[in-house]
Amino acid sequence: MCLSVQIRFFITLVFLLGTFSPQAKGKLFDVLDFGAVGDARTDDSKAFLDAWRSVCEATTTSGATIPTLQVPAGKTFLLKQVKFSGPCKSATVQIQMMGNIIAPISTDWTDCKSGCWLCFDHVDNLIISGTATINGNGAVWWQKSTHEKIGDCNKPAVLYFQSCNNLRVSGLTSHNSPLNHIGISGCKDVSISKINLIAPKDSPNTDGIDIANSKELDISDSFIGTGDDCIAINGGSSNIKITRLNCGPGHGISVGSLGKDGSNDMVQEVHVRNCTFNGTQNGARIKTWAGGLGFARSISYEDIILIGAGNPIFIDQHYCPRQNCPPEKQTAVKVSDITFSKFQGTSADNIAITLNCSSIVPCTNIKMNLVNITSLNPSSKVEAICNHADGTATFTAPVVPCLSSVQDVLIRREGQTQDGDQKPQYYEL
């Protein structure tokens, strides 16, 4: 073979090898190129991990394509527990999740002691988007208690993000999670939008989004219907904005529980706006345990629609979901500077507003404004009960007896019309 022919053969061989190499697509890493099958029966966990390692090792320069793990449409990928670990070399990495993902049946769960299924750890600037449906096959887990295992596996959350800053998640649907659909812990600057989180109303502990020790979260334009809190905001969390969320079924949007077993929990600057509670067990809720420490403060719920919601407004400083609850102790989580504004709709319970506060550390500066809650049953009336709370209620029904009421106050001031006649002018406070 002459030299020129050898050179041409070598060039052709290199080109062909590059064509069939997963890395040949530049910064796009398709899981099929790493051996994934996508038939909903074959375990594709290794292929996903191999693709992720390539994504995480890839580097980019300014303006270059972001390293991307691609999950192609038209297939369903069976995954056991998969841990996507960082930090990655590129400033930003992304996952385009178009194909569906399904969890194993219970007997095939192995090596998942960490309590998560699709786990992300220390991956900053992560973008996850797509139209995929993630099926957690959670029914068998719902028969187990929270801490009961299957094999060596703890009950897992579907998507769990630990120490992932500047995180963006959009477009996904999660069905039938064993535990939480999404867990956020130790994260900063998180945006979650246009997602659907769905589980039956009797599925235990299937919180939609569970937040802990995280700050600067923006959750918007989503539907959450589960068997537990649509969103639960736990200790160490702050600066959280929730807008345009449809919640139901579920236990509402809850701050807490806080202060369990005497813990010192702090939550502040939580703002919920333009949301709907439809057939939920609770609506706007703050829950703390007796004997806890810390605070829940600067929290607002505004522009809320209620459709047959239970406990539409509920502050409970004696939270205890089990029997043999402890009595009040000498400490309590301080609840203050809480605003409920522009609530409209129906309550499934006769008690529409409950302020069950501590005699040791009462609730302070509770404000209600433009709240109008009626009974789901047109022949019934609703009422409010409250203990150890102070603040104001303006244009609020039902009347909240422990809050100072400012109802329809008009001030009359004399003014003159253009023709000199005296004309009364009224100003609302």
186-224 as b/e, with b when 16 or more CB fall inside 10 Å? bbbbbbbbbbbbbbebebbbbbbbbbbbbbbbebbebbb
Residues forming a β-bridge with 115? none
Which is it for the CA torsion 309, 315, 321, 323, positive or negative? negative
Residues sharing a CB contact under 8 Å with residue 20, sequence separation 6 or more, in sequence order: none
DSSP H helical ranges for 21-128 = 45-57
CA dist., res. 92 & res. 248, Å (int):
34
What kind and span of H or E run contains 15? helix 3-20
What does the alpha-carbon distance between residue 410 and residue 83 come to, in Å, rounded to a whole number?
62
**CA 5 – CA 406 distance, rounded (Å):** 94
HSE of 86 in the Cβ direction (CA atoms, 13 Å)? 23
C-alpha 163, offset from chain centre: 16
Compute the distance between CA of residue 396 and CA of residue 404 in angstroms, rounded to an integer.
11
CB 313 within 8 A of CB 335: no
- Is 251 catalytic? The answer is yes
Half-sphere exposure (Cβ direction) of 424: Cα atoms closer than 13 Å = 5
3-state secondary structure of 194: coil
Catalytic residue (choose from 122, 147, 251, 318): 251
CB-based burial label for 382 (10 Å; 0-12, 13-18, 19+): buried
* Separation CA 11–CA 127 (nearest Å): 37
Enumerate the β-bridge partners of residue 414: 424
At residue 321's C-alpha, the angle toward residues 320 and 324, to 5°, is 65
Tell me how far apart the alpha carbons of residues 253 and 63 are, in angstroms, rounded to a whole number: 40
Give 41: exposed, middle or buried? Use CB within 10 Å, 0-12, 13-18, 19+: exposed
Catalytic residues: 251
